[in-house]
Amino acid sequence: MTRNGGEALRVACLGAGYFAQFHYDAWRRNARVRLVGSCDRDREKAKATGLTAFGDLEHMLKMAKPDLLDIITPPPTHFEAIKLAIAKGVKAIICQKPFCTSLEEAKEATELAETAGVTVVVHENFRFQPWYRTIHQALDDRLIGDVLQVTFRLRTGDGQGPRAYLDRQPYFQEMPKLLIHETGVHWVDTFRYLLGEPEAVYADLRRLNPAIKGEDAGYFVFDYANGVRALFDGNRLLDHAAENCRTTLGEALIEGAEGTLTLSGDGSVRLRHFGDVKPSILLAAQNWNGFGGDCVKNLIDHVVNGVLDGMPLENEARAYLKVIAIEQAIYESNRLGTKIREFAHA
Ligand SMILES: NC(=O)c1ccc[n+]([C@@H]2O[C@H](COP(=O)([O-])OP(=O)(O)OC[C@H]3O[C@@H](n4cnc5c(N)ncnc54)[C@H](O)[C@@H]3O)[C@@H](O)[C@H]2O)c1
């Protein structure tokens, strides 16, 4: 699929802001890739990546001729960037979450790409964190028997006071929807990865810090068949026991009839058999590279293998529409104060 038949995959990136650093680092560590350009409307930021720098996407696509465009800019830029990339012959696109500005726009982008035969994968990286891969394998191996409930407690500890988020992601303060749209959406996808599609959702959200616009605390509960429940319990003002609260962003319990899996803030996963007191370690804490257990690199490697070797891809745009529909249902449930059983048709 490479333009030069068998040579490295030519990759160009749109965006050189806060989170892009993890993308550039991950691309540089993939030996099958050649980085051919960086574009940011602030060209100084693109220059700082050390790559051939552009201030305009159309110009970059024309000059750098990438096989793959990695979109690392905010949602209002996604649709136009995808349209332009398809028109200029790009064959694969990775687009950061939240994907586009609405379900309707995301559907339109997906249909455009499908018609053109262009692969679009949403950069939903949390399911690629090594601890969720370990937990998924443990469920497949039935190490805890039948799963009865999953709980994730998000405790980032970065949401207190008037300066909340300003040093790292200042745009958080202005977002009308924060906790779920920006961050909790990762567990909408992670719960799908671990348990499949939910049958219903209930949510109760609130804003605790008056310095910001959106919600910063709240719950959502997914219903599954046989009484299985998944609970996301988020509060950005509270922390958890971790040297770095950004490694896992919180703690998880995956409880089954024969045992319990625990994810701690250092990324370690423990298994305690039902009736036992002492757990054993399934995944030890390590000095992970990059962000969140190197999940950006894991996702990028996954896409490169998918594109170059035809391996099946997780979270292609069509599949990800479901995440956006569920997120909508979460806000709708919170607004109405009732459980939502019908998700928008994705
Ligand atoms: N998956 C994750 O774990 C994760 C984590 C953080 C952020 N994100 C997502 O990544 C995206 C970027 O977040 P960020 O924190 O890097 O934001 P940021 O504001 O730090 O960076 C965005 C960059 O995009 C550039 N930009 C904006 N519009 C542009 C345009 N039309 N053309 C060219 N450049 C343009 C800006 O100049 C800026 O440098 C967001 O969608 C965010 O939700 C994902």
**pLDDT per residue as tens digits for the range 196-245:** 999 999 999 999 999 999 999 999 999 999 899 999 999 999 999 999 99
Where do the domains of the chain lie, and which CATH numbers do they carry?
9-125+296-315 (3.40.50.720), 127-290+324-336 (3.30.360.10)
Question: What does pLDDT average to over the chain?
Answer: 96
The closest alpha carbon to 231, from 261, 263, 253, 258, belongs to 253
Task: Please give the structure tokens belonging to residue 36.
Answer: 């051919």
Phi, psi of 15 (to 5 degrees): 110, 135
* Residues in contact with ligand 1 (CB, 6 Å cut-off): 14-20, 39-42, 45, 72-75, 77, 96-97, 123, 125, 169, 171, 182
Q: Which residue owns the Cα nearest ligand 1 atom 5?
A: 19
Check: CB of residue 75 under 8 Å from CB of residue 46. no
Q: Which residue owns the Cα nearest ligand 1 atom 42?
A: 74
- In ligand 1, the atom with minimum distance to the C-alpha of 182 is 43
Over range 26-38, report the average pLDDT: 98
- In ligand 1, the atom with minimum distance to the C-alpha of 55 is 33
pLDDT of residue 4: 46
- Cα 51 from Cα 175, distance rounded (Å): 31
Residue 143 reports pLDDT greater than 50: yes
Amino acid symbol at 2: T
Q: What is the pTM of this model?
A: 0.95
**Cβ atoms within 10 Å, residue 331:** 17
Over range 87-106, report the average pLDDT: 97
- Cα 299 from Cα 105, distance rounded (Å): 24
pLDDT tens across 104-137, in order? Answer: 999 999 999 999 999 999 999 999 999 999 999 9
Check: CB of residue 16 under 8 Å from CB of residue 48. yes
Q: Which residue owns the Cα nearest ligand 1 atom 8?
A: 19
pLDDT of residue 6: 63
If pLDDT is split at 50, 70 and 90, which confidence band does 343 have?
confident
Ligand 1, pocket-test mutation among 13, 18, 181, 298, most atoms within 8 A of CB = 18
- In ligand 1, the atom with minimum distance to the C-alpha of 171 is 19
Ligand 1, pocket-test mutation among 13, 14, 19, most atoms within 8 A of CB = 19
Compute the distance from residue 42 Cα to the ligand 1 centre, in Å: 12
- In ligand 1, the atom with minimum distance to the C-alpha of 17 is 21
Amino acid symbol at 136: H
Residue 345 reports pLDDT greater than 80: no
Enumerate residues 6+ apart whose C-beta is below 8 A from 240.
Answer: 153, 155, 157, 250, 251, 265
Compute the distance from residue 342 Cα to the ligand 1 centre, in Å: 32
Enumerate residues 6+ apart whose C-beta is below 8 A from 183.
Answer: 154, 156, 234, 236, 249
Ligand 1, pocket-test mutation among 96, 99, 174, most atoms within 8 A of CB = 96
Compute the distance from residue 236 Cα to the ligand 1 centre, in Å: 21
Task: Please give the structure tokens belonging to residue 327.
Answer: 């997120």
Compute the distance from residue 19 Cα to the ligand 1 centre, in Å: 7
Q: Which residue owns the Cα nearest ligand 1 atom 13?
A: 19
What b/e readout covers 239-250, taking b as 16+ CB neighbours within 10 angstroms? bbebeebebbbb
Residue 149 reports pLDDT greater than 70: yes
